[in-house]
Amino acid sequence: MQQGSILGLSPAGFHSIAYTAWGDPAGRLTFCVHGLTRNGRDFDRLAQALAAQGRYVICPDVVGRGKSDWLPRPELYSYPQYLADMAALMARFADREMDYVGTSMGGLMGMMLAAQPHTPLRRMVINDVGPFIPKSALERLAGYVGSNPHFADLAQAEAYLRRVHAAFGITQDAQWQELTAQSVRQDPAGGLRLHYDPAIAQAFSAALVDVNLWPVWDMIRLPVMVLHGVQSDLLLAETAAEMTRRGPRAVLHDIPGCGHAPALMDEAQIKIVADFLNA
């Protein structure tokens, strides 16, 4: 595992985009991009497995998350900024084909990148998100995004994350402990805070409406697999089914025991992703 960063540019100036890299730089390039309040370390187990198969795996922290810089103006946390940063990071690793795994927000970013002319993406896995997102699911997320809780220790943080992210479907204590360790940062005043800028909530909560990105989906022409948490309120079963009938006509894989979104930490889920990317 190696850690690095590049510079991104927003209307407010330059900012650092951090990433974690796994494997041989000569291997097939694979990007893994996280969800709204998460960071690139969510993919540690998946990245290690893919790297062992000869891939070079890049797991960025989207700006405002993890070790990437926070933006000085909350309204700049937007998909145009995220996509510009991702394009800059992709350019850092040369002009070659790459595969892509995206969870939730990362999946939406992948859809938008895959729909562009001359996209460098070869194959893509979208984890529990689709072209239609109901307002009710976004309202649920808005109920905790940006709340900025304080934790006295890791045990308090883990208890909070077990409650908020119960739908991830994690069943092993070791996995919860691993996820918790990567989800928090030291508070200068003592204790711990979540490892993202609470200001991301302002732009997210400003437009809580049904999301319809079917025109984007219909422009995608590369092989796609969709992972669907069977209990998900964000990727509805009817949306997932429609994704197999139009646009890239995705392969659909239901993940039992999960809602939004499968954590991609257990061996069975990792194998599903690896088998598709290696097909």
Please name each of the domains of the chain with its CATH number: 2-132+213-277 (3.40.50.1820)
Using CA atoms, how far residue 109 sits from 114, 145, 254, in Å, is: 9, 19, 21
Mean pLDDT of the chain: 97
Closest by CA position to 190, among listed 134, 155, 150, 162: 150
C-alpha–C-alpha distance, residues 104 and 24, integer Å? 27
pLDDT for residue 192: 98
- Find the DSSP H helices in the chain: 44-52, 79-92, 105-114, 135-142, 154-164, 173-183, 200-205, 214-217, 237-243, 267-277
- State the Cα–Cα distance between residues 242 and 244, nearest whole angstrom: 5
Q: 236: helix, coil or strand?
A: coil
Residue 81 pLDDT exceeds 80: yes
How many residues make up the chain in this entry? 279
- Residues whose CB is less than 8 angstroms from the CB of residue 34 and which lie 6 or more positions away in sequence, other chains included: 40, 42, 43, 59, 61, 62, 65, 103, 104, 105, 106
**Greatest distance between any 2 Cα atoms in the chain:** 53
For position 96, what pLDDT does the model report? 83
pLDDT in tens, 135-185: 999 999 999 998 999 999 999 999 999 999 999 999 999 999 999 999 999
Q: What phi and psi values does residue 3 have, to the nearest 5 degrees?
A: -120, 140
**pLDDT single digits (tens) 104-145:** 999 999 999 999 999 999 999 999 999 999 999 999 999 999
- For the stretch 235-269, pLDDT in tens is 999 999 999 999 999 999 999 999 999 999 999 99
Instruction: Using CB atoms within 10 Å of the CB of residue 53, give its burial: 0 to 12 exposed, 13 to 18 middle, 19+ buried.
Output: middle
CA–centroid distance for 165 within its chain: 14
pLDDT at 207 over 90: no
**What is the arithmetic mean of pLDDT over 73-83?**
97
pLDDT at site 95: 76
User: Given a cut of 90, is residue 93 above it in pLDDT?
Assistant: no
Task: Give CA–CA dist 132/85, Å, rounded.
Answer: 24
* Contact in structure between 131 and 170 (CB atoms under 8 Å): no
Q: Would you say 136 and 233 are in contact if contact means Cβ atoms under 8 Å apart?
A: yes
pLDDT value at residue 255? 98
Asked whether the beta carbons of 278 and 53 are under 8 A apart, the reply is: yes
Asked if the model's pLDDT at residue 94 lies above 80, the reply is: no
pTM above 0.85, yes or no: yes
- Give per-residue pLDDT as tens, 38-63: 999 999 999 999 999 999 999 999 99
**pLDDT bracket for residue 89 (50, 70, 90):** very high
- What is the pLDDT confidence band of residue 216, given thresholds at 50, 70 and 90? very high
> What is the per-residue pLDDT for 134?
97
Closest CA to 54 of 24, 30, 98: 24
Residue 206 reports pLDDT greater than 90: no
| Dist. CA 206–CA 253, nearest whole Å | 32
Confidence band for 219, pLDDT divided at 50, 70 and 90: very high
Phi and psi at 22, nearest 5°, equal: -130, 135
The whole-number pLDDT of residue 270 equals 98
State how far the Cα of 116 lies from the Cα of 118, in Å rounded to an integer: 6
Cis peptide leading into residue 114 (ω within 30°): no
